[in-house]
Homo-oligomer: A and B are copies of this chain.
Amino acid sequence: MTTSSELVYSTSVCPVSRQQLIELMKKSLSEKRFNHILRVEEMALKLAEQTGESLEKASIAALVHDYAKERPDSEMIQLIKSGNFDQELIQYGNAIWHGILGAELIESELGITDSAIKSAVRLHTTGAKEMSLLDKIIYVADYIELGRVFPIVEEARKLAFADLDQAVAFETYHVLLYLMERNLKIYPKTVETYNQWVAKK
């Protein structure tokens, strides 16, 4: 298996090297979140290796997926208001915003224009009706990285390497249940993901 430190990014996909991207993330994120994105990268590379996805794109998408997670709400709301976003978004919180806005911020601030990477960042929290292989890898890797300790995570990990689509379904089902148990708002896109990947046809 390729180790992540051997990965060479082509400048057309990412303007900086992996080491430079990691330094950028270290400066942008808390230590806790920085360690999380490294673990997501590790898991995403394993899933990419197994499924034949580009290791380079899996690495970049994993490292930047939470790029907007620690921005202040005021900045995010300003972005939603000034950008081409569904204004209903404002009703939700950064748990939803950081993927959707993060996909734009990695382009405007980091120069990452690759549409597959942007999509994986955009969808990593909610999933979607249609998901590419890279979308699925980042969505699942974020849920099962080795720092996660919730009760069903072992089952999710096994599923991820046995059947990635089933892992998408499992995660979506349990995320919805988690939101309901805490009476938290459900973003409509999450239900579209459920209807596509979990619900019987």
Q: Add 17 more A-B contacts to A184-B200, A188-B192 (CB < 8 A).
A: A173-B180, A173-B183, A176-B180, A177-B180, A180-B198, A183-B198, A183-B199, A184-B199, A185-B195, A185-B199, A185-B200, A186-B191, A186-B195, A186-B199, A188-B188, A188-B191, A191-B191
Residue from B173, B186, B195, B199 within 8 A of A194 (CB atoms): B186
Proximity string of chain A (169-201) to chain B, C-beta cutoff 8 Å, 1 when within and 0 when not: 000010011001001111010011011001110
Chain B residues with CB under 8 Å of A180's CB are 173, 176-177, 180, 194, 198
The 15 sampled A-B contact pairs (Cβ below 8 Å) are A173-B180, A173-B183, A176-B180, A177-B180, A180-B194, A183-B198, A183-B199, A183-B200, A184-B199, A185-B195, A186-B194, A186-B199, A188-B188, A188-B191, A191-B191
Cβ of A89 to closest chain B Cβ, rounded Å = 13
- Main secondary structure on chain A at its contact with chain B? helix
How many angstroms from the CA of A184 to the CA of B194 in the assembled complex?
9
Q: How large is the interface on A (under 10, 10 to 19, 20 to 34, 35 or more residues)?
A: 10 to 19
Within the assembled complex, what's the spacing in Å between the Cα atoms of A198 and B181?
A: 11
Question: How would residues 34 to 74 of chain A score, 1 for a CB under 8 Å from any chain B CB and 0 otherwise?
Answer: 00000000000000000000000000000000000000000
Contact partners of A195 in chain B: CB under 8 A: 185-186
With a cutoff of 8 Å between Cβ atoms, the chain B residues found around residue A200 in the complex are 183-185
Once the chains are docked, how many angstroms separate the CA of A184 from the CA of B200? 6
